[in-house]
Amino acid sequence: MICDEILIHIFKKLYNVEVLYSLMGFNQRLNRIVHDTIFTRDLCFLECLPDNKISSPLSDLILDRFCSEILPEIGHRIKTLHLERTSMERIIHATNYPNLNSLSLCHIDSEVAMSLFDVECNGRFIDGDTLMKDIIPYMPRLYKFTFNIFSTIKHCDQTNFALNQHIEKTFEYFHNSEIITCIDHFQENGYSQCH
């Protein structure tokens, strides 16, 4: 019989999501091993394609099992989540994450962000002020927040448009951060985008 240390060494070569999905509940010994924080503290719900440059969402079958069985059992152990647009709402609402301190949201647009965190922007871009007021307070143990937000607003007879400098200034209270913003105004089409 292979000792636990060798199994852990082998399992560490795999993605934590793969280990949990494949082995959790298989038998008592493997279940004990995969409940270790090595496999439960950092979960990436993006499936890396062979070229390692592009990621895709996990299948519904895998997500169903995670949301109904696995996450409710290990949610209190999770410290970091990496989520993508199509599954983030299901995963966030699957259980409580009292020890979550890092959340990475990939391929997210402003409408999805607003629906997840009940943010109402009223024709404004999501900026640092919005994050500090309407999103960050709901994650009190959050230590690291990686995001790429893409906001679109309709002009609706506006004459004053936000500038890059204004958006960047709203992030001045985010310490140790690298914030890059770009605003594109499409006056002929009646909308602006910030990313």
pLDDT in 10s for each residue of the chain, 195 residues: 788 888 888 888 888 888 888 888 889 988 888 888 888 888 888 765 555 555 667 788 989 998 999 999 999 999 988 888 778 878 888 888 888 888 777 766 656 665 665 555 556 667 777 777 766 776 666 666 766 666 677 766 565 666 667 777 777 777 666 777 777 777 777 777 766
Q: What is the pLDDT of residue 54?
A: 53
Does the pTM exceed 0.95?
Answer: no
- What span, in angstroms and rounded, lies between the C-alpha atoms of 64 and 51? 26
* Single-letter code of the amino acid located at 45: F
User: What are the pLDDT digits (tens) for 66-82?
Assistant: 899 999 999 999 998 88
At 167 the pLDDT is: 72
